[in-house]
Amino acid sequence: MILLGLVFGNAWVSHVEREDAVRASRELAELVDARATVTRSGTSRVVDARFLVPGDIVTLTPGCAVPADCVSCGPQTLVLDNSLITGDRHTVDVAKGEPLFTRGVVKRGSARAMVVRTGKHTFAGRAARVMRARDSSRKEMSAFDANVSIVTRSFAVVGCASSLSVFLYLIVGGKDFFRSLSFAVILLIISTPLAIRTIVHTTTSLGVRALAKKSCIVARARVIEDLALMNVLCVDKTGTLTKDAAKLSSIVPTVPLLEGVSENDVMTAAAMGTRWKEPPTNAVDAMILDAFDVARHLEGKFELVEHRPFDVSAKRKFSESIIRRANDGSTFRVMKGPIDVALEKCVNRESAQAIVDDALEQLQSRAAAGVISRALLVACSKTHDDSYVGLGLIMYDDVRRKDAHEMLHAMQSLGVDVKIVTSDVARVARVACDKIGFDLSENSDGIIHTPSDVPYVPLRASVLSPAHCDKLDRMKAYAEMLPEDKHALVKAHRAKGDIVGLVSDGASDSAALQLAHVGVSMNNASDAARCASDIILAAPSLAALAHAVLSARVMFARVREYIVFRATCTAHVLGFFVFGALVVSPKSFDVSAPDTFTLPVIALCVNAALNDVVVIGTAYDHTSPSRLPERWNLLPHVFVSAASGFTACFTTLALLRVALSARLPYGEVQTCVFLKLTLTDAMTVFSARAHKSFLERRPGGLVLAAFATSLTMSCLLSANWPF
């Protein structure tokens, strides 16, 4: 009954803490649920995807996740990534009238779609119920789990060998078979770390709850284990270090490239290059529409016929719209994009080059002042078939997150190697690094690297050469990184043996987020990025990420302390009974005593129960996190535990010999040994949690309460021996 109580007690504690953690994350996740652009009664608006109903018309654009099972209404053919559903990395084309499934990610094209199924009735909802058990069973074991399993098996092997030796010795000595078997089984149970999973689950749940209080949603609880080991963090600049927002330059918002073109003409053309009747899908479009009166200048005068947005996958680095004039029905084209790309498509590029060079010099001067500035070229054609003519430049600034520098400094102080990754050109990347205080010269070559510098890894299980490993260590910032390049960078660090994290908010980075050990997205990230992430920062702040790392290391430290505690107690108990059977014979002191010293089975069960009480308290102990990424290095802890355990073993053997030499009754000798075993094991928790003196860190209240309970029960039971 005592052993059953231990098993059920451990399971109950784990269940309660896990449910509390899941409840806290679920409540926080409601703040960042998926959104969808739906058209009802002729009006487009953004709503919570949970409130979609069959018959709704939703707008799908590149980067968004399909919010429900739908049927495409066109006009464009969509290119979808269904890997989150099927696991197949190949994209599929979906034409008008064909089905779309929940969690598919739109890679190219724009279309409207009619909702046909929602929630648990979708294909993904039904498949999730069928595949959940299989997916969990086939999930890749983390390094943390693998080492915990090694520790558990090691304890089991040592316990089996010692218990079997004691059992055979007792049988050969003529002891009763069933009593000897019961005694050996109890020794085996005492040596097995029954509570290690309870400690792991409880500390993980406590970490999830702590992060939920910091507005950090943990989508996969086991990511806490990888966070403790994470030593490399790749951070996407756009949307993470800078906000996914832009603002017009306060000095020169526009620069006309033609004589007679006004600021209003440039902004009008830029607004035509957006879907002005729908909510904006990117920061630049939002900036243009916020600064422009669409109803006054466009409504009733122009009609958007077709819009082809910026598309990384198709290598199209500009957006293009076809506009129809309301007065005569004629059409023309509008384009906006980076200067180096868009200017090459303009017939007036040579005459406009001097104005563009002056604008770029202004950008350089702004960069010297610490402002992340950019320029966007807007061009227009007179008719649909005419060439583009550059109208002007739109000058705008990135909005930096206020806590970006603090987060990077905090991660670096925790021993995490931070890498800056961006799709911008090297000039913008260097300005961004300077603005956020990221020192490229410290422990690196000081160069902004490109995708060609990332070592090629053909297979996921490949191992990098030492030269490539050294090269990766020196590289701190990357520019012109496309989604496939970020995926390759994460794969290279995995091949190097790093535990790598990635912070990104782009839908196109979902594959890299899934490949990383720790995938993190911001609260305003795309639906696809949030689906692929392990951690979602619900608040517009990066501070929670450093808190997540510290919480993970606290959990790791508690598990390590438990292993030291359990190993010490196991060496103490098993060593005492094995060596006691060999070197101490109670019958040589008292002819009425047995040849081999043993304790009643009930006494060993009580000892195990009292140890378990102390162990559960350690899950809530005050623990100091490591200042460097954690690593499984069990050999020093094994030596320390063995030394402590055998020291306690020899002192218990000495007490046994002194008690027998004093001619105490055999029952009192058993009482002395029982009290020595229980008190020594209970006090071991204070030495297991300290690296030097047990006074270096104040223990938690629950640890002290658990120790006091164990101490009181041990004394009361010893005073009423036999019990």
Q: Please say whether the beta carbons of 65 and 507 come within 8 A.
A: yes
CB-CB contact of 565 with 615 (8 Å): yes
Q: In a 10 Å sphere around its CB, with 0-12 CB exposed, 13-18 middle and 19+ buried, how is residue 20 labelled?
A: middle
Residue ranges matching CATH 3.40.1110.10 in the chain: 266-394
417-443 confidence digits (pLDDT tens): 988 888 877 777 787 777 777 877 665
436 with 492: CB under 8 angstroms?
Answer: no
CATH code assigned to 2-15+143-204+549-719: 1.20.1110.10
Phi, psi of 451 (to 5 degrees): -55, -30
DSSP, residue by residue, 187-245: HHHHHS-TTHHHHHHHHHHHHHHHHHHTTEEESSTTHHHHHHH--EEEEETBTTTEEEE
CB of 234 within 8 A of CB of 258?
Answer: no
- The pair of structure tokens assigned to 286 is 């939002």
Q: Residue 259: how many CB atoms within 10 A of its CB?
A: 5
Burial of 709 (0-12, 13-18, 19+ CB in 10 A): middle
Sign of CA dihedral 27, 28, 29, 34: positive
CA dihedral sign of residues 622, 625, 631, 633: negative
Whether the Cβ atoms of residue 232 and residue 499 lie closer than 8 Å to each other: yes
CA-nearest of 556, 233, 239 to 412 is 233
| CATH number given to 37-136 | 2.70.150.10
Cβ partners under 8 Å of residue 318, min gap 6: 310, 335, 336, 337, 338, 341, 342, 345
Q: pLDDT tens digits for 77-115?
A: 888 877 666 545 556 788 888 888 887 878 777 888 999
Both tokens of 448, joined, read 């902004």
What totals of helices (H) and strands (E) does the chain contain, helices first?
23, 24
Residue 254: helix, strand or coil by DSSP?
strand
DSSP-assigned beta bridge partners for residue 373:
397
Angle at 91 (CA atoms; ends 89, 97), nearest 5 degrees: 140
> Between 196-213 and 543-583, two packed helices, what is the crossing angle to 10 degrees?
160
State how far the Cα of 186 lies from the Cα of 608, in Å rounded to an integer. Answer: 9
User: What pTM did the predictor assign?
Assistant: 0.66
Tell me the average pLDDT of the chain.
78
Report the C-alpha gap between 455 and 423 in whole angstroms.
18
C-alpha distance from residue 74 to each of 62, 69, 217 (Å): 14, 15, 36
* Residue 3: per-residue pLDDT: 46
Classify the C-alpha dihedral 587-591-594-599 as positive or negative: negative
Could you tell me the two tokens for 463? 């191992």
Per the CB < 8 A criterion, the answer to whether 696 and 690 are in contact is: yes
Name the residue among 96, 98, 105 with its Cα closest to residue 124: 105
For residue 379, the model assigns a pLDDT of: 92
Q: Measuring CA to CA, how many Å separate 522 from each of 239, 528, 693?
A: 8, 12, 42
- Residue spans of the chain under pLDDT 50: 2-3, 6, 13, 17, 21-22, 24-32, 87, 131-139, 723
> What pLDDT score was predicted for residue 239?
66
Give CA–CA dist 711/642, Å, rounded.
24
> CA 312, CA 63: separation in Å to the nearest integer?
10
In which element (H, E) is residue 99 found? strand 99-100
Listed in sequence order, the DSSP H helices in 533-691 are 543-583, 601-618, 634-661, 666-688
Residue 518, classed as helix, strand or coil, is strand
Residue 282 confidence (pLDDT):
72
The rounded radius of gyration (Å) of the Cα atoms in the chain is 33
CA distance 111 to 306: 10
216-241+401-540 folds as: Rossmann fold (3.40.50)
DSSP letters spanning 331-363:
EEEEEEEEHHHHGGGBTTHHHHHHHHHHHHHHH
349: left (phi over 0), alpha (psi -120 to 50) or beta: alpha
Which residues have a Cβ under 8 Å from the Cβ of 344 and sit 6 or more positions away? none
CATH pick for 266-394 out of 3.30.56.10, 3.30.200.20, 3.40.1110.10, 1.10.10.10: 3.40.1110.10
- Work out the burial of residue 452: count CB atoms within 10 Å of its CB; fewer than 13 is exposed, 13-18 middle, 19 or more buried: exposed
